[in-house]
Amino acid sequence: MANVGDVFKPGDKVPNSGIYEVTHDKEHSKKHEVTCVYGKTFPPCKGCGDHPRFKLARAAQHIESNENFK
């Protein structure tokens, strides 16, 4: 399980569903947030390749994993 602030790179497995802040190459794009789902792989960026980093901003349980919705 990841902690808020942990950083990941393309190719790493998403350790927790949640909101991640993405930092790209400064010449390519500003920081932004994305939703990532547990077990998927963080992808490379079409514009800056393997540069982006994904920092966990807020973990959230995917609805399909919640016992109230199974």
How do residues 5-39 score in pLDDT, each as one tens digit?
Answer: 999 999 999 999 999 999 999 888 999 999 999 99
Q: What is the CA radius of gyration of the chain?
A: 13
> CA geometry: angle at 29 spanning 34 and 32, to 5°?
25
Burial 21-49 (b: 16+ CB within 10 A, else e): bbebeeeeeeeeeeebebeeebeeeeeee
Length of the chain: 70
Domain ranges of the chain: 7-62
Q: Name residue, tokens 């789902």.
A: 37
User: Residue 37's pLDDT is what?
Assistant: 95
* Dist CA 48 CA 26 (whole Å): 9
| Interval 33-62: pLDDT, tens | 999 999 999 999 999 989 999 999 999 998
Residue 1, pLDDT above cutoff 90: no
